[in-house]
Structure 1
Amino acid sequence: MRILRAAGYRVMPWKNGGGTTTEIAVSPDGAGLGDFDWRISMARVETSGPFSSFIGIDRTLSVLEGEGIVLDIAGQPPARLTAASAPLSFPGDVPTSATLIDGPIIDLNVMTRRGRMSHTVERLSLMRATEIEAKGGTTLVLVVGGSVKVASDNPTALGPLDALILERHSPKARLEPEGQGLLFVIGLSGIAANG
């Protein structure tokens, strides 16, 4: 079990130069945009426009703050995405553009390399203590609203935008909300090669 503090996240420019992204975690550690297996980041989107293209990448987008965006993903009807919407998955290598609904947003972006990794993203409103486990891979829990206590022999508090990483053999993490918590639970799994 590892804890990542929001103050330690790395900020870098977007691939297309249109803004900045805050990298929460990447694998392997220190990987760049061309060689990651998976990457979890947040971005502040201030203007409408095209998304960066990521060849061979599957991605899932969620709105954390703001009124939301409408995504125009090639070959699909426009998708309206707000903070109340379920996370939206789409290929990172098809032409995609976004139109802001009413002002800037902050989004959560999960990306995995197709054919090597897969991912799931779940938004979880934490009303009572719950246990989270890593199912078959790595699980990252991002605290978005409120704060959460990780109950253990050495209890730790997670504040807004702090994250908890559980690896395959980590014990279950018991999370207790302090107030009403909002979490994103991101599952990351390797894809076994056929043969």
Structure 2
Amino acid sequence: MRILRAADYRVMPWKNGGGTTTEIAVSPDGAGLDEFDWRVSMARVEGSGPFSSFACIDRTLSVLEGEGIVLDVADRPAVRLTPTSAPFSFPADLPTSASLIAGPITDLNVMTRRGRTLHSVERLAISQPVDIATRAGSTLILCQKGEAFFPEAGSIRLGPLDTLLIGPDAPIMKVEPARDTTLFVVRITAAA
């Protein structure tokens, strides 16, 4: 189990050079864009335009801040993502472009290498204690807003944009919000 503080995240350029990404976690540690098995990051999107293409990668996008974004993925119907919409999954190697709804956004990107790893992303708005089930593999709990307290894990407290990275050793994590809190739970498993 590791606490990942927002102040310590690594900032790096987008693959297409159009902006920057804040890397929360990557596996294996230190892996580059063409080598990771999985990667969780945030990006500030300042303008409309094409997304970077990642061969053999599956991706899930969620809006953390801002009004939202409209995604056009290949020949599929356009998808409107806002801070309250469900996370949206799509193949990262399909041509994808985005249009901002009303100004810049910050998004959460979860990417896994097809054939090696799988992932799911869940948004939880909590005001009472909850138990979060993890999976064999890795689970990341990102505190989007509010504060999250983990009393059974050494009294860990997460502030906004801090993350708890959990291995397969903790099947259930009790979370207590300090006030109304929104969490993103990312579960990553090995592909069958």
Structure 1 length normalisation: TM-score? 0.96
C-alpha separation between the residues in 2 aligned to 1:168 and 1:157? 20
Determine if the alignment matches structure 1 residue 133 to structure 2 residue 114: no
- Structure 1 residues 153 and 78 mapped into 2: Cα distance closer, same or farther (>3 Å)? closer
1:23 alignment partner in structure 2: 23
Spell out the pairing of 1:16-165 with structure 2 (5 A cutoff).
Answer: 16-152=16-152, 154-165=154-165
**For 1:57-91, what per-residue CA distance to the aligned partner results, in whole angstroms no more than 9, with x for missing partners?**
00000000000010010020111110011000000
Distance in 1 (alpha carbons) for counterparts of 2:133 and 2:151: 14
> What's the offset of the Cα at 1:154?
2.9
Residue type of the partner of 2:110? V
**Secondary structure of 1:136's aligned partner:** coil
State the distance in 2 between where 1:95 and 1:174 align: 40
Identical-residue share of aligned pairs (%): 62
Q: Which amino acid aligns with 2:25?
A: A
Q: SS of the counterpart of 1:179?
A: coil
Instruction: Measure, in 2, the Cα distance between the counterparts of 1:180 and 1:34.
Output: 38
Give the CA deviation at 1:136: 2.1
Q: Counterpart of 2:106 in structure 1: which amino acid?
A: I
Where does the alignment leave 5 or more consecutive residues of structure 1 unmatched? none
Comparing 152-161 and 39-48, the one that deviates more: 152-161
Q: Which runs of 5+ in 2 are unaligned?
A: none
Q: Within 2, Cα distance between the matches of 1:86 and 1:67?
A: 14
Task: Say which SS state the counterpart of residue 183 (structure 1) adopts.
Answer: strand
Q: Which runs of 4+ in 1 moved over 4 A?
A: none
Q: TM-score, normalization: structure 2? A: 0.97
- Aligned AA for 1:102? A
The number of residues matched between the two structures is: 192
Amino acid corresponding to residue 51 of structure 2 in structure 1: F
Letter aligned with residue 66 of structure 2: G
Between the aligned partners of 1:80 and 1:173, the Cα distance in structure 2 is 32
